């Protein structure tokens, strides 16, 4: 059992998990913040109780030898996940899954308790032969066997805290994985074999694009060349979505630029620097396409969203200064 606790706002020490290092930053006034990890056969069961925490795997920061997947089960509070081109919000009872070897950002913006279940590639493919289509999908807590999976995970976690190393824990973990697979199967209907094949290829193409968004030379022709597809077949693969390959690349680049414009950590970088870091090579083209997509110029978007983020923080500061005795 590995354990990291943070009582005051602090930088928690890195916790080493199989497959890489995760740097967890804890900003919490919760007196019993907690991070626990226990290996159970093919699963790594992680319990987290915290205030504000961001866990991320930036592009190129981690290349594990064994591709792994992680389920997130939200017990209380809430979270947001940015992964595979999706941005989803999670609420108590919800479940999602992400690819640990791909780029992702998981943010807990309030007091939250979650259970994370990391699964190696062999085990995950036994229940999801094509897991790519499941990454970044929200499974609501009030549907099917989701609540059953949550109850099993909570019960197993409680046993591990009080009596770690019990001989039956690995068997229970395997049953938990089966229940999670059934919960997903109930929510996400199985497509036909032809559709399934096209969706597998679509997710493969989409993952390649996500991993190469910053490359200025990224284009549908380059994607087709690297993945050994014809341009025509690439367009056929994208027929499962509502976008062409070029429209998808442009939209995702614009969304990543917008995300950094609204993030105070990027305040010191100019609009052009951020745009060029996401593969744009013409400032006028970027400004024009950004305005078409978001309905305002990049500078207006940045000012609007940073102001919206600053006002609640300023109000919080004023209230704390005025009523220090009311601080948590």
Render pLDDT for 59-118 as a digit per residue (tens, 0 to 9).
Answer: 554 444 457 889 999 999 999 998 887 889 999 999 999 988 788 888 888 889 999 999
Domains of the chain plus CATH, in order, are 2-187 (2.60.120.10), 193-309 (1.10.10.60)
Distances (CA, A) of 101 to 67, 69, 132, 176: 6, 8, 12, 23
Q: Are 135 and 99 in contact (CB under 8 A)?
A: yes
The pLDDT tens digits of the residues spanning 127-166 come to 776 677 788 888 888 877 888 888 888 888 887 766 655 5
Burial 34-71 (b: 16+ CB within 10 A, else e): bbbbbbbebbbbbbbbbbbbebebeeeeeeeeebbbbb
pLDDT at 97: 92
pLDDT digits (tens, 9 = 90+) for 226-256: 988 888 888 888 887 778 999 999 999 999 8
Give the distance, in angstroms, between the CA of residue 310 and the centroid of all CA atoms in the same chain. Answer: 25
């Amino acid at each position: 059992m590995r354990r990291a606790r943070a009582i005051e706002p602090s930088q928690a020490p890195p916790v080493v998990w199989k497959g890489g290092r995760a740097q967890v930053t804890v900003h919490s006034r919760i007196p019993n913040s907690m991070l626990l990890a226990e290996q159970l056969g093919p699963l790594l069961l992680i319990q987290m109780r915290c205030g504000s925490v961001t866990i991320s795997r930036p592009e190129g920061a981690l290349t594990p030898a064994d591709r792994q997947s992680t389920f997130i089960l939200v017990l209380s509070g809430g979270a947001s996940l940015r992964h595979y081109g999706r941005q989803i919000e999670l609420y108590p009872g919800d479940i999602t899954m992400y690819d640990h070897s791909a780029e992702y950002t998981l943010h807990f913006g309030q007091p939250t308790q979650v259970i994370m279940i990391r699964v190696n590639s062999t085990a995950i493919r036994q229940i999801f032969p094509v897991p790519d289509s499941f990454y970044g999908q929200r499974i609501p807590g009030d549907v099917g066997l989701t609540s059953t999976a949550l109850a099993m995970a909570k019960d197993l976690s409680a046993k591990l805290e009080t009596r770690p190393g019990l001989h039956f824990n690995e068997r229970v973990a395997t049953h938990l994985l089966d229940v999670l697979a059934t919960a997903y199967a109930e929510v996400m209907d199985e497509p036909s074999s032809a559709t399934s094949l096209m969706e597998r290829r679509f997710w493969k193409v989409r993952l390649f694009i996500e991993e190469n968004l910053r490359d200025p030379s990224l284009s549908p022709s380059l994607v087709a060349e690297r993945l050994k597809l014809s341009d025509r077949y690439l367009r056929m693969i994208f027929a499962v979505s509502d976008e062409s390959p070029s429209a998808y690349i442009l939209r995702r680049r614009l969304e990543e630029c917008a995300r950094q414009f609204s993030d105070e950590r990027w305040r010191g970088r100019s609009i052009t620097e951020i745009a060029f870091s996401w593969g744009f090579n013409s400032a006028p083209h970027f400004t024009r396409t950004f305005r078409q997509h978001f309905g305002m110029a990049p500078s207006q978007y940045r000012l609007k969203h940073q102001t919206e983020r600053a006002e609640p923080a300023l109000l919080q500061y004023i209230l704390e200064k005025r009523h220090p005795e009311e601080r948590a």
